[in-house]
Structure 1
Amino acid sequence: MANIEEQSAVVHFDDDADLNDSDFNDSDNDVYDDDDILFDHNVTKGIELDMPLTIEDGQAPESDSSSHVSSEELNIRSDSESDENSSRQKFPEYYVENENGKKKNPHLEVGLLFSSFEELKSVLKDYAVFNGVEPILKRNDKDRVHCVCKDGCTWRLWASKLQGEKTVQIKTYVPKHTCFRVRTNKNATFKWLVEYYLDDFRADPEWKIKHFRSTVRNDFGLHITKVVSWNTRKYAKVLVEGSDEEQFALLHCYGAELRRTNPGSTVIVSQPIAYAVIQKENTSSWRWFLMLLSEDLSMENWSSVTLMSDRQKGLRNVVADLFPTAEHRFCVRHMYQIFFRKDFKGKHLKDCL
């Protein structure tokens, strides 16, 4: 299961109901008197002994035969690494299937192996979003998981650890749903949406909320709130661009690189020289600000100075008027977001920059 490595940024996200996946909370220390009875009733007998995999009469309605097959029909292969394990059967292991860089609807089956319960529950969240359902972990402890759908729905899954291992295996699986798809899904959290749409946010960090919600509705048939959409975009920008704290922490590295590539340069990393609060960003306010900055710096030879800014029209005119000999350059990231994106959209352009 591919996971996104989260930045260590301090970012505040608005509270929303989707931040808590209560149905997937661990209960590792919960032990119940009826555990053994539940295990006997739900675990498909013989799955680890190459016996026919069936569900006893009265336990579940009929389902596709592909969900209850003998272990000979599973993906079994011999382990030739040692004589000791040469006769041990191998069940199919779960792996993330991607299409165009995005994960696909998980294919679940009896015998499927997972590295841990955490991976299984993460896959169940993917399954829930793709299929418009909300599974509930009816039994969730350190040795087994019993997952069901809504009351009256026939779908269910039972998984437990292999003896003496941390590996988790699906022992029983009834794939058929008799419930209706949901329009709102608590498993579609902003973090899940960021993981799925991260490449799209790389191409367009300012993806409009209205368009993003429409995309989610078309892809999954789900309605997400504006708060979830806003948090998704905000978190995506942190992953793509980094936080302000992380960017500021790189200033000393930037200064060292300037000294290395421009021998003889004087680079001093300190607090901002000046800032101002104004009513509106226009030619008049920029002229006032830059004139004060020029007086404070008391620089006589502006030809040795490079000014870097965005492409704000009023600012460009004022710089050309006040500092005609200074070199004026523009921020590449801002050029991409504001200028190039109008005519040339897509990730390829940003990669070139």
Structure 2
Amino acid sequence: MQSPKFYVGLTFVSKQEFRDAVYNHAFNNGKELKFIRNDKNRVYVRCRQTGCPFRINAWKVKNAMTWRIASYHEEHEGCGWVYENSMVKSTRVAKRWVKEIGHHVTWTTAEFRKKVKVDEGFELSSKQAYRAMKKAKAILDGEAEESFRKIWDYCLEIDKTNPNTSCHVKKTELLYDGKPRFLRMYFCWEASKEGYKFCRKLIGVDGCHLKTKFGGQLLIAVGIDGNDSIFPLVYAIVEGETKDSWSWFFTLLKKDLQITVEAQQQLTFISDKQKGLLPAFQEVLPNASHRFCVRHLHGNMKLAGFLGKAMKDALWAAAKATTVNSFSDAMTEIKD
């Protein structure tokens, strides 16, 4: 319960759930509470500010595992927002901020402390912030490891509920605790297979790094539908952008999208100039046309020292040229 609303009779499935709700209430309202009684049958909560009438009393329900609020006084008197709160522990902060930390893996301790102070309204020491971030990342890593263990169950469930969807898992030859280890995973949903039949004869492919403890890369192929919108076709998680991984990806793509030799002759692929792509195309899709993304080409040119708006405009003019003469003029301007 991130934002609990207490009232007499509110029932919790366990004492731990009640305690978590109390901590969240304290954090959300900037109050410092204390547990004056915490045994097998009763939990009494009071405000640490002397004279404040705030209280919550919860009792264990007889002959049940649940807990219920027996009495509750909501109002605080004479106590303001507590910035240095003794209830703020690194474990609690880690649980509350685990998703944010997962989305901002490059946060420094100082940045995290500043963010918590702005959003939560309480101070964290450097050690508390460091421990909270470390514990949150441990939670995330644990969730990822658990997810990897469920991959095969996930594929079986897809086969059961969506039988025309392709889901392939490739294992390594290395063993971990006597079991084969995960290497790659590929998906092509039935809806994508059917939708591809109505797409233009153009497929874009690219890869991006996965910023997790385990690394790897995400490969994806997209088409262009009748509205000139991006249409997802297939995607895969692989160990890296290599010739072997791209060849494996294209072989499955070719099968799922039913790209015959005749279909290849009418099809154009667009990509960056990643080294593993070129030999993979020649091996799996030798009859398809292959073009390079201009934005990536311009990025490579900038890295080589060819900067400036004039160079960029000339490059795009060459890419957009529809006649030999206009292309030659643009290329001459690039050379000049």
TM-score (norm 2): 0.42
TM-score (norm 1): 0.40
> In proportion to residue count, which structure has more strand?
2
